[in-house]
């Protein structure tokens, strides 16, 4: 464990004016609070907060961030409280520690609705003080560095959460070094064989070709010296996960990858950056389409650099990043550069982004999202996408995520333009609306009066802003019709429980469901986005089965003897709402079949084993697995659309297996967890209506299940009676 003197000395190296007394007090208090606590590895628990503080000190962060790191687990894991931390260390640090504690309790990898709410809380915490996220990222980095002490299943869970959430978040904040290390540490857990394979190939490549990095670095330094440019040249091999991801995206083997080496040239001035670019392009051939100028068009997180890829020695491609020293500091620490200290004063780096402006730009579009799923989709599209820069005909720059189309471009300009788009030109050539925009292209959209968004645009658009606007417009087109239909559905549902669907009752339901008003509620009912049961439950939870009286599996079937256990037959996978019978197995309980199951013919001569059963009439929990046999076209976005259709009907996909892959179609088995037969019918109907789905039907493996049950029956028959 790092001693307090060593930690203070580390902070002093960049901040001689640091509050040494505050740092020592926090160190002593944290050690006292965590006394007697140990990590899974057997180390003192306090070694973890100290390591997190050291990670932040390496980024030259301020005293408050360092102290927060030392205390970040005290409120959650010790007898310390917000008030005691506030009294000892002030409101700023108490708020930061409390913010980290709340983030720790967020289950970001949970179910979609809860995940969306937790992402909202995550962005709220970020908007209050971004240092909360910086401490949390450092906390996750140290936990991943020491993850081997955890149980294997816990390692996998944490690694996936890191790969899905924390690594992209670090990248979105401009902390590329942390993103790469988090990805590599997670990759080591999730797919150790693949990582080891890449490392072995690196060693073999180095043995065959020698030290390529040293040779190219030497060549670059020589060229820059000839051009009279003073600059530092740094070279490295790309991280194993970066190479693995590229192999998967391009569907090629390691031997066919060319740009596995990266180089950075760090200069004194911006003018030198362009001089370096000229010298490199004069000496080596530039690879077309691999040039990005983030100096003239910076990323929203403050990142500035020139990227180019050239063919180096032996035709090998190498990526070169060219930036000034100040740009490099921001590239290393991203938004964290705002709190960096140097020689005792906060660094006035002109390229460091104001955190308040950055977080506002990130969250402003999410505030308009009413729907959980839409919000979650918008967050992930924004967080996990790289950017491309394109131009309007007037030369204005539009930033879009990679893979964006002219529809996204149109909505980025204005929602009115997006709604009216009928065509597009890229670099003067007419192109389909599904064309992917590339860096540096000029885009012109063609609009027409009377045009309205089409439902197929949802398969084309990639930005959260565009998809939200399209959904809103599609709802508005048939809004009046949906409202009228929704009112009839509400009237019938309320009368069924002896109530009236008054405006006041509908407004109450709308508030409970976080909708703008009764018209929005009725429109969603009419468009089948909400069920009458959900609306009733929002107003009268005691009158509907879903209001806390959900039927659990233990009382789902009526007709069993007290304590008698049942299993659903795997051959027919019966669902609540379907007619059922039971077949008894001595010592094994009851196997429940659908009344039309072919397997039942095997028990026709054993009537004493048949039970007349029925499902409980209430609302069942979504715990019943059903398999769908699905054939769909092999086009971009189709699988995502299928998953969205299933998710929109509140079903969970528990497994997915590809049975057949052809150039023009996929066939797969999708296992769902459902409530009842009505929900299954809704999903099949929605998928059947999707133009890219060629066939969808319920999958039943009669032979396998029959064989299993007959073997059970035989074993029971041969067992002697006592």
3-state secondary structure of 101: helix
Give the C-alpha separation, 91 to 75, whole Å: 14
3-state secondary structure of 128: helix
3-state secondary structure of 342: strand
| φ and ψ at residue 447, rounded to 5 degrees | -120, 160
Give the C-alpha separation, 266 to 337, whole Å: 18
Give the C-alpha separation, 721 to 181, whole Å: 63
Residue partners of 48: CB distance under 8 A and separation at least 6: 39, 73, 139, 142, 143, 146
Q: Catalogue the active-site residues.
A: 76-77
CB contact burial 34-69 (16+ within 10 A = b; e otherwise)? beeeeeeeeebbbbbbbbbbbbbbebbbbbbbbbbb
Give the C-alpha separation, 653 to 32, whole Å: 47
Which strands sit side by side in the sheet containing 429-431, from one edge to the other?
429-431, 421-426, 443-447
Task: Check if the beta carbon of residue 352 is closer than 8 Å to that of residue 372.
Answer: no
Place of tokens 């394979």: 197
Task: Check if the beta carbon of residue 104 is closer than 8 Å to that of residue 45.
Answer: no
First to last CA, the chain: 65
Give the C-alpha separation, 634 to 185, whole Å: 33
Give the C-alpha separation, 617 to 594, whole Å: 16
Give the C-alpha separation, 97 to 102, whole Å: 9
CA angle 391, 396, 401 (to 5 degrees): 50
Look at phi and psi of residue 161 and say left if phi exceeds 0, alpha if psi is from -120 to 50, else beta. alpha
Instruction: DSSP for 564-581, please give it.
Output: --EEE-TTT---TTS-EE
Smallest Cα–Cα separation from 600: which of 509, 680, 523, 705?
705
């Amino acid at each position: 464990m790092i001693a307090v003197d060593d930690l203070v000395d580390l902070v002093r190296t960049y901040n001689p004016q640091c509050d040494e007394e505050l740092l020592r007090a926090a160190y002593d208090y944290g050690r006292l609070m965590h006394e007697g606590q140990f990590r899974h590895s057997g180390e003192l628990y306090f070694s973890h907060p100290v390591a997190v503080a050291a990670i932040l000190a390496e980024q030259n962060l301020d005293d408050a961030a360092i102290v927060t790191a030392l205390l970040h687990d005290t409120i959650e894991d010790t007898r310390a409280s917000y008030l005691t931390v506030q009294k000892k260390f002030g409101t700023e640090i108490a708020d930061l520690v409390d913010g980290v504690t709340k983030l720790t309790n967020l289950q970001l990898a949970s179910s979609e609705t809860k995940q969306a709410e937790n992402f909202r809380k995550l962005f709220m915490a970020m908007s209050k003080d971004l240092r909360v996220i910086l401490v949390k990222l450092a906390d996750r980095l140290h936990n991943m560095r020491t993850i081997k002490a955890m149980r294997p299943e816990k390692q996998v869970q944490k690694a996936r959460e890191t790969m899905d959430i924390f690594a992209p978040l670090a990248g979105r904040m401009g902390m590329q070094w942390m993103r790469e290390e988090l990805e590599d540490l997670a990759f080591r857990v999730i797919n150790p064989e693949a990582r080891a394979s890449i490392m072995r190939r690196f060693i073999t490549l180095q043995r065959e070709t020698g030290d390529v990095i040293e040779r190219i670095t030497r060549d670059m330094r020589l060229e820059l010296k000839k051009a009279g440019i003073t600059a530092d040249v740094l070279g490295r091999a790309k991280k194993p996960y970066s190479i693995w991801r590229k192999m998967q995206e391009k569907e090629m083997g390691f031997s066919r990858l060319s740009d596995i080496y990266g180089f950075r040239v760090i200069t004194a001035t911006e003018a030198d950056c362009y001089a370096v670019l000229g010298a490199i392009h004069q000496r080596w051939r530039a690879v077309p389409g691999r040039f990005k100028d983030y100096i003239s068009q910076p990323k929203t997180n403050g990142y500035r650099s020139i990227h180019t890829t050239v063919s180096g020695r032996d035709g090998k491609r190498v990526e070169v990043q060219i930036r000034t020293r100040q740009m490099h500091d921001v590239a290393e620490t991203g938004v964290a550069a705002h709190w960096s200290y140097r020689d005792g004063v906060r660094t006035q780096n002109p390229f460091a982004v104001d955190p308040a402006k950055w977080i506002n730009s990130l969250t402003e579009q999410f505030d308009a999202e009413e729907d959980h799923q839409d919000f979650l989709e918008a967050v992930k599209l924004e967080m996990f996408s790289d950017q491309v820069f394109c131009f309007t005909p007037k030369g204005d720059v539009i930033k879009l995520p990679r893979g964006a189309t002219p529809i996204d471009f149109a909505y980025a300009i204005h929602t009115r333009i997006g709604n009216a788009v009928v065509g597009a030109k890229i670099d003067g050539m007419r192109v389909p609306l599904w064309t992917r925009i590339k860096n540096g292209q000029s885009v012109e959209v063609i609009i027409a009066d009377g045009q309205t968004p089409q439902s197929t645009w949802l398969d084309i658009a990639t930005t959260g802003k565009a998809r939200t606007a399209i959904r809103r417009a599609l709802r508005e087109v048939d809004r009046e019709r949906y409202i009228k239909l929704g009112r009839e559905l509400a009237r019938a549902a309320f009368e069924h429980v002896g109530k009236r669907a008054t405006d006041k009752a509908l407004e109450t339901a709308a508030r409970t469901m976080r909708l703008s008003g009764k018209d929005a509620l009725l429109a969603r009912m009419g468009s089948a986005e909400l069920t009458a049961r959900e609306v009733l439950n929002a107003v009268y939870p005691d009158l509907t089965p879903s209001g806390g009286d959900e039927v659990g599996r233990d009382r789902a079937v009526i007709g069993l003897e007290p304590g008698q256990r049942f299993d659903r037959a795997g051959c027919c996978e019966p669902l609540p709402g379907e007619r059922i019978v039971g077949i008894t197995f001595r010592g094994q309980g009851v196997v429940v079949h659908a009344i039309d199951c072919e397997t039942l013919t095997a028990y026709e001569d054993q009537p004493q084993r048949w039970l007349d059963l029925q499902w409980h009439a209430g609302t069942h929990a979504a715990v019943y697995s059903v398999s769908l046999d699905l054939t769909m076209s092999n086009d971009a976005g189709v699988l995502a659309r299928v998953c969205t259709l299933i998710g929109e009907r509140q079903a969970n996909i528990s497994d997915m297996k590809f049975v057949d892959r052809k150039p023009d179609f996929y066939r797969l088995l999708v296992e769902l967890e459902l409530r009842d037969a009505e929900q299954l019918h809704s999903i099949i109907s929605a998928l059947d209506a999707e133009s890219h789905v060629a066939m969808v039907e319920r999958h039943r493996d009669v032979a396998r299940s029959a064989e299993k049950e007959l073997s059970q029956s035989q074993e029971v028959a041969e067992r002697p009676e006592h």
